[in-house]
Every structure is written in structure tokens, then in C-alpha cells.
Amino acid sequence: MIGHGFMGAAHSQGWRVAPRFFDLPLAPAMQVVVGRDAGSTAAAAERWGWAESATDWREVIARDDIDLVDIVTPGDTHAAIAIAALEAGKHVLCEKPLANTVVEAKAMSEVAARAAERGVASMVGFTYRRVPAVVHARQLIADGRLGDIRQVRAEYLQDWLMDADAPLTWRMKKDLAGSGALGDIGAHAIDLTEFITGQRVERVSGIIETIVAERPLLEHGSGLSGTASTERGAVTVDDLALFTGRLSSGALASFEATRFRTGRKNALRIEVSGSKGALAFDLERLNELEFYDATQPETELGFRRILVTEAGHPYVGSWWPTGHMLGYEHGFSHQVRDLVVAIAGGERPEPSFDDGLHVQRVLDAVEQSSAADGVWVAAEG
């Protein structure tokens, strides 16, 4: 695993736990974690269960005892690491968004396609696809329970940057992160909409906004825990993105990604409305799915709650008895499960680098639209 921040902890949890709850056809061995600082990387290895640590990802990729590379670094390094790993014959799991630019994502997708011909797998980490309630929602739509999809509303709402004096970190720098709320969390809203509905966002019209233009620099430390100085630096990414998307069926979807929705901590929400019914999901209540069946008598209409904890629901049977809730971390175990099963079976894991490239094109189209006062921009290559 290359990188060991917040996502490093989440991915480590997935690799460590999945083999103990799922009957996997291959046994993942957590061999080495890579970071820039030897001391903090060694501490991460000890804390999260990696056998060893290293500081040079190129040397690690060249090793014969490494079969798969998991990339959890900032977006500016994704392309170089993923391409090198795939060309070295290593399977790759790469965090989302796939890259910082369409050009980088396209190069990664092309290398992944060539690697696939040699049996080398690649996958992008849109982990929320692995939430059981999300998979159940997708199946309800695929089974025709909602009829023709007419409208979608998707939003990812957080408030962790509402303090104007929160320090300037890499997530607020375009050269490192690519974009702000749009790419960091808006990418999830886009992918979730496409995954659940089975449709693609073909063109968009939107606007992005930087609400706080300058923030205190960090004197030392990293992340929000570092010490802030009196000097301030420019925020070069968006804090808020609002856009409309036209789906492949012609239906409209509205999207919002923000780090300034006061009081909302991690509210990834989606509501899909169709000719026969509707459904709604909120990540802050991730074991639940709301379902509305418009074919019922008018005296019985209304959204009903489905508690997605039965053994027959996706993934759930490998965990706890009915009614015992799953949490955020379980999606990473499900991701490991699906990736390992695909590799063992010689199948193409999903979401693919092509899927990641498509989302990157949607993100880019939103930025183009915003720069042109909201004109409609195609999101296909």
C-alpha cells in the first residue's frame, strides 16, 4: 500500500478483516506500506498490521514478492504510481478520483487496458458501491421496481471546512488534489448515481465556488492537526459545486458537493424517482433504504424503511446476525472481497479505470461549464 493517511487506515482495515469474514480464493498478505517519512510510515505499519515499511515506492513495485499495489496517495501521484505498477505486472487498486486531470486518467486507462491483456487487473476505489443498501437499491431499479427513471437528486454534504481559520492542507491545493469538493466527494455522487441507475451522465451544466479564498499555513505537522501560522495561503480549489446532469435516458439529475453545509458531517444522499416508484439512501443511515411503491393502493402509499441487515442482502450474510448494523469500514472489506475474487477468477473488476476516466470527464466538464457561466458541456470522450 502506497500512502498511509486517512484512506490508508481504511484500506488497511479492509485488507486485514476481509480474509477473516469472507471465504476468499486467494489469501492477501499485507507485506509493505510505503510513505515519504520513514518514522511515521514504520509507525503506520506497526499500527495497522503491515509486515514492513519503506520510503521508495519504485523499489517496492520492482519486488518479485509484491503482486498488488494499493494506491491511497494524493491525486497528483496516482498516474505515475499506477502506470509504473501496471507496467511491472502488478494488479492495482487506486483511490478515487482516478487522477487530477482527464489527460492523466486517459493515460492510466490505456495502460490498464494493455495490462488486462496480460491478465493484470485494475480497479478504482469507489467504495460506496459496496454498501449493502446501495447494491440493493441498484437491484430494485434493475428489476424494474421503479419503472422509467425520471429524476435523480444526488448530494454529498460535509461541513468540516466551515471554519475559515482551518489550516490550508493538500486537499485545498489544486496541484495536489486536482479539485476540491467537486472531485473529492462530488465524484462519489456521480459514480453512485451511475451505479444505482445503470445510466451515465452525458452532459452537465454547473458552477463551482471557493467560499474561503485564503487559509492559515501550517508551521509543522500535517492535516488539520498541524500547527497553524499567522501567514495565510491561497485556496486553489472549490469549496462548493452545484450542477445539473443529463443522463443517458434523457432524465435530469441534480448534484451538489460541498464542505460548507453546516451541520452535515458525511451525508451522501441520493433519491431516484421513477414511473412506478422511488427510493432514497443516506450514508449517515447506511443500513437503511427508503422505498416507495407507487403501484400500491392510494390508501397504502408512502415511503417505507427497508432495514438492509438480512442475510439475503448483498455481503451481509458474512457478517453479523440480522439487525446488527454494519458501518463505514465494512465497505473496504467488501472492496477487498470483490477485487480478490475477480483476480482469482480472471475477471475484470469494477469499477474499472475506464469508469474512473468517465467520472474524471464529468468533473472536468463541470469545471468547464462553470468557467463558461453554466453552459452545457459534454462529458463523454
DSSP 163-207: STTS---GGG-HHHHSSSHIIIIIHHHHHHHHHHHS--EEEEEEE
Residues contacting residue 22 through CB under 8 Å, at least 6 positions apart? 318, 333, 337
Residue labelled with grid coordinates 469549496: 239
Question: Are 45 and 24 within 8 A, CB to CB?
Answer: no
In order of 10, 13, 129, 155, the CA distances from 257 in angstroms are 22, 27, 18, 6
State how far the Cα of 367 lies from the Cα of 75, in Å rounded to an integer: 17
In order of 176, 222, 310, 316, the CA distances from 324 in angstroms are 39, 36, 9, 10
Q: What is the pLDDT of residue 218?
A: 84
Closest to 134 measured CA to CA, from 356, 290, 350, 329: 290
Distance of CA 214 to the CA centre of its chain: 27
State how far the Cα of 56 lies from the Cα of 137, in Å rounded to an integer: 42
Question: Are 2 and 81 within 8 A, CB to CB?
Answer: yes
Residue spans of the chain under pLDDT 50: 221-225
Question: Are 108 and 82 within 8 A, CB to CB?
Answer: yes
In residues, how long is the chain? 381
**Helical axes 330-344 vs 6-21, angle rounded to 10°:** 60
Q: What is the pLDDT of residue 381?
A: 66
Set out the domains of the chain in order of their start, with CATH numbers. Answer: 6-128 (3.40.50.720), 131-351+358-371 (3.30.360.10)
Q: What is the pLDDT of residue 220?
A: 55
Q: What is the pLDDT of residue 110?
A: 98
State how far the Cα of 83 lies from the Cα of 68, in Å rounded to an integer: 13
Report DSSP state, residue 77.
Answer: G
Strand partners, 74: none
Q: What is the pLDDT of residue 224?
A: 46
pTM assigned to the model: 0.95
Would you state the cell numbers that stand for residue 339, as one nine-digit string?
A: 477485487
Question: Are 306 and 317 within 8 A, CB to CB?
Answer: no
To which H or E segment does residue 367 belong? helix 353-371
Strand partners, 24: none
Q: What is the pLDDT of residue 229?
A: 64
To which H or E segment does residue 290 belong? strand 288-293
Quick: pLDDT tens for 264-277.
999 999 999 999 99
Would you state the cell numbers that stand for residue 264, as one nine-digit string?
A: 452535515
State how far the Cα of 23 lies from the Cα of 340, in Å rounded to an integer: 11
State how far the Cα of 337 lies from the Cα of 352, in Å rounded to an integer: 16
Question: Are 318 and 60 within 8 A, CB to CB?
Answer: no
- In this structure, the dihedral spanned by the alpha carbons of residues 372, 374, 379 and 381, taken in order and rounded to 10 degrees, is -20
